[in-house]
Structure 1
Amino acid sequence: MMKLDSLKDTWKVYAAQAAAAHQVTESQIAGLLKARTENAVTTLKRNIYFELGVQVMTILVAGLGAIFFKEDPAFQALCMVVMVICLPFLGYFWARLSYLKGLNVTTTNLRATLGNLIEMLHGLTKLYFWTNMLLAPIGLAAGQLAYLKLAKGISLSHLPWEQMYFRLILGFVIGAVLGYFFLRWYIRKMFGNHLKSLKGAYCELESLEVAAA
């Protein structure tokens, strides 16, 4: 019986030591949340660089179209409209990138950093979705006109516009429907998953602070 009690005491001591050795401290948890935040910021930077690249490429292509197709004022005007639409997006994403590049993630200001990141990402996804929902139908209709010009060689200035109304309206409708589903998937892929991850880290940090209080 004494040997059994001794064995139990030894096991309790061993279990307590093992638990202490594997215990995660508050500072370690904060460090893990900091690392998760830094990883999210790095990925967001990469995604915004991609968005900037898309905007720059679109502006360059539209600019070349406006330069090389001066004989077709309607197509030239279309290219100019595309450039004007893309410029605000270029400025907006550049501002978001500048914010992320200037962000200093530390455990001391982690709560404020996460809050600011969540607010910024929430605003970005909302603005991106609704502006593109408005522009998607226009984009598909403009794509039809660009196809007629570049693939068919038809001058937009001499198009029988009265015959194009139905086709353009159909393009608007299809663009709105496809744009809705595509944008939901695209935004979730590019930004939404990171927003969810940051919200999770924020909740964990709140729980940690409550437990430490």
Structure 2
Amino acid sequence: MDKLSITSVNKVTLPFISKEENNFTIGLLDYSKKLMRDLVSKFSLSLYNFHQSRLAHYKRVVDKLNERNVIVNTSTRIPNAASVSISESIWNDIIVKLELFEIRKGYLNQEVSLNSLAKDIGTNHSYLSKTINSVKGKSFKNYLNDLRISHAYLELKRDSKMRKFTIEAIAFENGFKSAESFSKKFKEKYEIYPSQFLKTLEA
């Protein structure tokens, strides 16, 4: 007896089974086809929604960065990921999460460290360190201190209440554990001690 293809079952009645069995078989095949179409459709929709969600996420990040005027030409700011032996996908993910770290002012946490930040953004400390060194042009420690000092400088100019704080209190508010360390880093960056800077603001 010649073999019948699956598609032919819909067109003929199989001679070796009853009419009821034949109808059941045809119905089962129709159901299977419909189920397969539904699964493919749902998978495609899910994949589309996932990509749209990721695009929306990155757009929000870029919009935030544009508001802060920290976006520059990436062709000059960001070197090739291969130059530090990191895959492009991991590289891009770390960069985006570093920008989110800055937007959320995570650097104000006194306890943040290279290891803790690496864990928070889902990478290892080696990849994070390499990315910061390459993209920011500085070590993690200097990167953190620069963010804190820049924040302190802007807040002191903006917030008259903070200008009434002691140097130690200002240091703590901006992520430093001591007034001495804060004053030293402030002087290195702006060539003036914070105590002197406060006097210029009150003048």
TM class, shorter-chain normalised? 0.3 to 0.5
Structure 1 or 2: more helix by fraction = 1
TM-score, scaled relative to structure 2: 0.36
Q: TM (normalized to structure 1)?
A: 0.34
Greater RCO between the two (CA within 8 Å, min separation 6)?
A: 1
Structure index of larger Rg: 2
